[in-house]
């Protein structure tokens, strides 16, 4: 039997490819492309599996560079047959979410567009704006990504004024609510003065605003107000009246002129250049523009219609069924519009149509969306041009063979040796790539409180970062996304010399480009050079290094402060006899701070797992010593 490493790609084994294609039926379903290690490269769907899969291997068939690379790696094809095309689309969406194949990535993880998150997984859900779409809890719901950040913040601010919601991420007091409860802006979540079920009902009203169902919410509140007035509950009726007025103010400037303002519709369009595709999705509900969402994709990942198709599939896969509109207007024909329409119709349980309008007001709406996409593309190009110029200038300054695509920056943070930590930050194409950031706790036993050694600390971090390449010289450098084009050390000649010594020991010095940036005069030093490079402070390349240095400094300081704070909190509790590290963590997790633990009674302390009456009394006595 052949090992996985000797299995030929199907494109190099025509007989096996022909036999495999004959086994694939002409039915709707989902197909899997796998490589020699049995990893899933790509998951797709089609109303005719054999025709679709055969197209990947047909001579002369035009593929994007991304798909062409994928095809050369395919060693096996598997499939799942479904009854309908809509079932194939739904199954594909679930499988992509589960396996996350590399070649299925279309939309870029662009942090400039924020989301609104509602944490339905919690008893008392939080509502906040974030630029990172986390997927830890399936129940949590994300709305967006929104193009207009200012409008999103204003909408959330007004929603918190209209409805009584938790205003703080953590309680201000241990045993009583804060001022927000007294003025009616919070229902007393911190003291559980409202049940989780009742609070969920309040948050659901806020969710309706971000679902584009403001008018439906106004209608519901109007009926409740009339009923409250009929029952002579005038105080409740007045609160509902104020909420209705607030909601009407919120949507006062959202009116869009359309021929039929009773139909909910989404309009999508894009604008592209050689590299970027900026997509805009306008959400129109009852004649009002309730949401303007933005996406960024690789322009080489497909035709305009294919890009719009995938954006719509990914977007509607993540929304609630009630948010799906009755009509979708597209700038370009979608390659599988009928399949998507059937999928949306099944989810919504009502007819959903997809069309490419050619005239009148619907076409004008799509043109308006396209103009907004063009403005967003122009902004993206300006940022890209600025970063490219900075990379080119830096390459010239350092005499690099090519543009420094991945740059890593390192910094050390401590207070006279205590709580010493280091940071690794990464810029890709001139922009922060926070998914690649790393923290390091300095393990050098000579670095202690009162004795610092930045040179030894920096040498330790670089050794830990690159030792895997020294231990395995066969690891790829060129084309490896983990291998940096440039390493920047925050410091002067001393820090750089320590790093050079480590890299020379690891036999990596000739393969890595290393520089240091001194703080005082923003001077750039190269290994083996006693004098700094002749540069100007306002050069684009120097400014790029300064941004990298400042980010490494910020990241290191924030981790140092957290580590120091945790140590100071634990040091007080570690003085209590019988209170081990595990119970210290449980106490802090329950009471949040030393001050709350100090104020707690022995009875309250026993509510923590593992804290019995005797230990609770010892903790209480420690914070309340009796006078001699």
161 within some domain: no
Q: Looking at the domain assignment, is residue 186 inside a domain?
A: no
pTM of the model: 0.64
Nearest to 397 by CA among 540, 530, 549, 509: 540
Q: Tell the residue number behind the tokens 């709350």, with chain if given.
A: 596
- By three-state DSSP, how is residue 276 classified? strand
411 and 537 fall within a common domain: yes
Residue 425 included in any domain: yes
- Main-chain phi, psi angles of 320, to 5 degrees: -70, 155
550 class by beta-carbon count within 10 Å (0-12 exposed, 13-18 middle, 19+ buried): middle
Which CATH number goes with the domain that contains 74?
3.40.1440.10
**Are 275 and 409 contained in the same domain?**
no
Whether 294 and 323 map to the same domain: the answer is: yes
- Asked if residue 432 and residue 363 are part of one domain, the reply reads no
> CA-CA distance, 241 to 235, in Å (whole number)?
10
Long-range Cβ pairs for the range 194-202 (8 Å, 24+): 196/123, 196/124, 199/123, 199/124, 199/125, 200/120, 200/125, 202/163, 202/164, 202/165
Task: Give the tens place of pLDDT for each residue, 146-202.
Answer: 887 887 888 888 888 888 888 887 777 777 888 888 888 888 888 889 999 999 999
Domain of 617 in residue numbering reads as 575-623
Does the pLDDT at position 591 exceed 60? yes
Q: Are residues 320 and 272 in the same domain?
A: yes
- Which of 79, 104, 129 is the C-terminal boundary of a domain? 104
The helix (run of H) or strand (run of E) holding residue 395 is: helix 360-398
Q: pLDDT tens, 474-500?
A: 887 877 888 999 999 998 889 999 999
> Do 609 and 493 belong to one domain?
no
CA dihedral in degrees (313, 112, 135, 556; nearest 10)? 160
- Domain-terminating residue out of 104, 124, 141: 104
- Nearest Cα to 93, choosing from 350, 299, 340? 340
Based on the structure, what is the number of domains in the chain? 4
pLDDT digits (tens, 9 = 90+) for 192-247: 899 999 999 999 998 888 887 888 888 888 888 998 888 888 888 888 888 888 77
Q: How confident is the model over 101-121, as pLDDT tens digits?
A: 878 766 665 566 788 899 998
Check pLDDT > 70 for residue 71: yes
Residue-by-residue DSSP string for 591-617: H-SHHHHHH--HHHHTTSTT--HHHHH
Residue 599 pLDDT class (50, 70, 90 cuts): confident
CATH at 614 = 1.10.150.20
pLDDT score for 624: 83
Are 605 and 534 contained in the same domain?
no
Separation of alpha carbons 464 and 542, rounded Å: 27
pLDDT of residue 554: 94
Residue 202 lies in a domain: no
Same domain, 419 and 464: yes
CB atoms within 10 A of CB 599: 14
Q: Please report whether residue 227 resides in a domain.
A: no
pLDDT at 507: 92
Please report which residue ranges of 190-336 form alpha helices under DSSP H.
196-210, 214-230, 234-250, 304-317
Tell me the backbone φ, ψ of residue 352, rounded to 5 degrees: -120, 125
Domain of residue 371, CATH code: 3.30.420
Residues 536 and 473 grouped into a single domain:
yes
Q: Is the pLDDT of residue 269 over 70?
A: yes
Is the pLDDT assigned to residue 382 strictly greater than 90? Answer: no
């Amino acid at each position: 039997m052949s090992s996985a490493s000797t299995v030929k790609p199907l494109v190099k084994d025509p007989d096996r490819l022909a036999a495999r294609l004959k086994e694939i039926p002409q039915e709707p379903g989902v197909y899997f492309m796998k490589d020699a290690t049995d990893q899933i490269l790509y998951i797709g769907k089609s109303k005719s599996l054999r025709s679709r899969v055969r197209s990947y291997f047909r001579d002369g068939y035009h593929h994007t560079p991304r798909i062409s690379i994928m095809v050369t790696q395919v060693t096996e094809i598997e499939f799942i047959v479904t009854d309908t095309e809509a079932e194939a689309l739904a199954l594909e969406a679930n499988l992509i979410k589960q396996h996350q194949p590399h070649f299925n990535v279309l939309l870029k993880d662009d942090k400039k567009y924020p989301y609104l998150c509602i944490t339905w997984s919690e008893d008392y859900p939080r509502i906040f704006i974030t630029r990172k779409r986390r997927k830890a809890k399936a129940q949590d719901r994300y709305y967006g990504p929104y193009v207009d950040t200012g409008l999103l913040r204003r909408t959330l601010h007004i929603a918190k004024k209209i409805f009584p919601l938790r205003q703080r991420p953590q309680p201000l007091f241990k045993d009583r609510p804060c001022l927000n409860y007294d003025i009616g802006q919070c229902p007393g979540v911190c003291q559980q003065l409202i049940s989780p079920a009742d609070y969920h009902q309040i948050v659901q009203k806020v969710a309706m605003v971000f679902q584009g169902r403001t008018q439906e919410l106004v209608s519901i509140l109007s009926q409740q107000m009339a009923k409250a007035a009929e029952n002579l509950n005038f105080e409740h009726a007045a609160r509902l009246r104020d909420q209705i007025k607030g909601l009407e103010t919120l949507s006062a400037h959202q009116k869009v002129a359309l021929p039929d303002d009773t139909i909910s519709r989404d309009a999508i369009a894009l604008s592209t250049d050689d590299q970027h595709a900026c997509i805009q999705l306008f959400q129109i509900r009852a004649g009002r523009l309730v949401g303007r969402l933005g996406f960024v994709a690789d322009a080489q990942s497909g035709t305009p219609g294919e890009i719009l198709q995938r954006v719509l599939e990914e977007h509607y896969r993540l929304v609630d069924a009630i948010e799906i509109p009755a009509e979708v207007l597209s700038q370009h024909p979608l390659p599988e519009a009928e399949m998507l329409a059937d999928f949306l119709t099944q989810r919504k349980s009502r007819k959903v149509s997809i069309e490419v309008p050619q005239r009148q007001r619907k076409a004008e709406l799509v043109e308006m969306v396209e103009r907004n996409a063009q403005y967003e593309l122009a902004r993206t190009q300006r940022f890209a041009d600025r970063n490219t110029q900075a990379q080119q200038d830096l390459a010239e300054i350092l005499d690099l063979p090519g543009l420094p695509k991945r740059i890593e920056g390192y910094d050390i943070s401590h207070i006279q040796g205590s709580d010493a930590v280091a940071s690794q930050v990464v810029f890709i194409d001139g922009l922060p790539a926070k998914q690649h950031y790393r923290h390091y706790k300095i393990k050098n036993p000579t670095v202690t409180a009162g004795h610092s050694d930045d040179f030894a600390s920096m040498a330790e971090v670089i050794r830990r970062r690159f030792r895997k390449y020294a231990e395995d010289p066969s690891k790829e450098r060129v084309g490896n996304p983990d291998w940096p084009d440039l390493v920047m050390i925050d410091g002067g000649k001393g820090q750089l010399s320590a790093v050079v010594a480590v890299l020379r020991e690891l036999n990596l010095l000739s393969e890595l480009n290393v520089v240091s940036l001194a703080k005082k005069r923003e001077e750039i030093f190269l290994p083996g050079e006693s004098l700094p490079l002749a540069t100007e402070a306002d050069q684009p390349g120097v400014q790029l290094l300064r941004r990298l240095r400042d980010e490494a400094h910020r990241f290191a300081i924030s981790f140092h402060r957290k580590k120091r704070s945790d140590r100071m909190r634990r040091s007080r509790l570690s003085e209590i006899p019988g209170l081990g590290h595990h119970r210290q963590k449980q106490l802090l997790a329950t009471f949040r701070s030393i001050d709350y633990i100090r104020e707690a009674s022995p009875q309250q302390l026993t509510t923590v797992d593992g804290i019995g009456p005797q230990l609770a009394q010892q903790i209480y006595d420690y914070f309340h010593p009796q006078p001699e």
